[in-house]
Amino acid sequence: MPVKSATEAEMFEFPFEEKSILIGKTEWRFRELSVQENDDCADAAKDKEGRINGRTMMRLTIIASSVEPKITPELLAKMPTRIYGKIYDVVNDLANPDTLDDEKTPEGVVDENAGNA
């Protein structure tokens, strides 16, 4: 089951983060997934009993997150483990809410913690 990518409109409306890493002489770019893309990866990683295989889900997430060069299942399967581990860390960081820029509060939104130092 292919994972549907976020549309250009969705990526324009929300600030999808991207990260790049250098592996050898190639820059590899990855982007944050939408909630729907994440759900699609989870659904595609379910076994017959409906349990999510975490390893499969992460691999599908890496494939869906890849921007340039685009990673295929075949390419991912051939990667050395240390390169896979580096990519795993980057893609995992893109889903980490702690990386959001807390200093920027959108216009019209009240920061309840402002001034409570």
| pLDDT tens digits along 21-48 | 999 899 999 999 988 999 999 999 999 9
- In this prediction the pTM is 0.72
Residue scoring higher pLDDT (6 or 55): 55
- How far is it, in rounded angstroms, from Cα 110 to Cα 29? 34
Task: Specify whether the CB–CB gap between 60 and 44 falls below 8 A.
Answer: yes
Whether residue 107 has pLDDT greater than 70: no
Question: How far apart, in Å, are the Cα atoms of 37 and each of 12, 28, 53, 56, 104?
Answer: 16, 20, 16, 14, 26
More confident residue, 106 or 87: 87
